């Protein structure tokens, strides 16, 4: 009887140690490629050391390990977008900091610097990192901040109720004037709409660390546009010019005696 109890306990302990070991390997294994251990480059190991969170099941741990492997394969093939999806799901399953670090590095490689900045900031905020790793992550976060461009939207104080969309997504107005928006360096499209006004559209490219200012100019529906006013001014100017020219020519011709009276005889009373 006692031998059966001891055997069952030994088996239970072995299973527990096996699960713990698997999850520990999951924590320290980084799925971000094999290019070396330089800061900000993809590596297969991570200096993050944090014990597994309680409540992570063996199934989730195994699924995360599979996702890590898929992420590494995707990076080796240059498929960063596929790798990002694998790392994000692995982090959802385990909340392991190395997974979140891989998410941030994938976003960085894809040029999504604003999202990468936020991921690095979350890593610093939500996880206990050793001093070396924390320093590296802070440096990477600061590099992503420096890469961001700034779009300033001016004139909103004159357009109450205007709705803004940037690249098709609603733009939150925090009340600051001008409205300052951090964006990834790329070509962006800003659209402003207000009831009773024509749609305003601006498109332009912002470079890394660059800044652009856009002045909103919403025109009431039905109001003459700048082209209409210009055409009217041009026509009016042409009419005035023709009139002045005709007057000058007429005066010169009369003065030179080239225009005779219609009736050569004069009647004197």
Residue pLDDT, tens place only, 165-192: 999 999 999 999 999 999 999 999 999 9
pLDDT band at 205 (very low <50, low <70, confident <90, very high): very high
Q: Is residue 105 a contact partner of residue 143, using CB atoms and an 8 Å limit?
A: no
232: Cβ contacts below 8 Å, ≥ 6 apart: 224
Residue position matching structure tokens 């924390």: 134
The domain 149-215 having CATH identifier 1.10.3470: the answer here is no
* 104-154 pLDDT, tens digit each: 999 999 999 999 999 999 999 999 999 999 999 999 999 999 999 999 999
List, as one string, the DSSP characters of 140-207.
Answer: HHHHHHHH-EEEEEE-GGGSTT-EEEETTEE----S-SSEEEEE-SEEEEEEEE-TTBPPEEEEEEE-
Identify whether 178 is preceded by a cis peptide bond (ω within 30 of 0): yes
The domain 18-146 having CATH identifier 1.25.40.10: the answer here is yes
Strand partners, 212: 151
How many residues are there in the chain?
269
**Torsion, Cα of 110, 76, 67, 81 (10° steps):** 20
Average pLDDT over residues 60-88: 95
10: Cβ contacts below 8 Å, ≥ 6 apart: none
Total-model pTM: 0.66
């Amino acid at each position: 009887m006692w031998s059966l109890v001891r055997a069952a306990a030994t088996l239970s302990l072995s299973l527990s140690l096996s699960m713990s070991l698997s999850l520990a390997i999951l924590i320290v294994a980084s799925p971000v490629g094999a290019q070396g251990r330089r800061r900000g480059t993809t590596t297969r190991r991570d200096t993050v050391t944090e014990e597994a969170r309680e409540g992570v099941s063996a199934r989730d741990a195994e699924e995360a390990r599979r996702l890590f492997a898929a992420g590494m394969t995707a990076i080796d093939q240059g498929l960063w977008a596929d790798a990002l999806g694998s790392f994000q799901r692995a982090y959802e399953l385990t909340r392991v900091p190395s997974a979140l670090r891989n998410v941030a590095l994938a976003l960085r490689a894809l040029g999504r610097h604003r999202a990468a900045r936020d991921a690095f900031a979350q890593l610093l905020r939500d996880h206990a990192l050793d001093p070396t790793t924390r320093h590296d992550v802070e440096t990477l976060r600061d590099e992503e901040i420096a890469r961001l461009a700034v779009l300033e939207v001016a004139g909103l104080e004159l357009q109450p109720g205007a709705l803004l969309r940037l690249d098709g997504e609603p733009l939150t107005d925090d009340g600051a004037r001008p409205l300052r928006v951090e964006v990834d360096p790329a070509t962006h499209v800003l659209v402003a709409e207000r009831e009773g006004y024509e749609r305003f559209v601006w498109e332009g490219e912002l470079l890394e660390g660059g800044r652009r200012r856009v002045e909103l100019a919403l025109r009431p529906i039905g109001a003459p546009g700048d082209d209409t006013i210009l055409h009217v001014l041009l026509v009016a100017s042409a009419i005035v010019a023709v009139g002045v020219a005709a007057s000058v020519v007429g005066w010169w011709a009369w003065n030179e005696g080239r225009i005779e009276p219609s009736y050569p005889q004069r009647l004197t009373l």
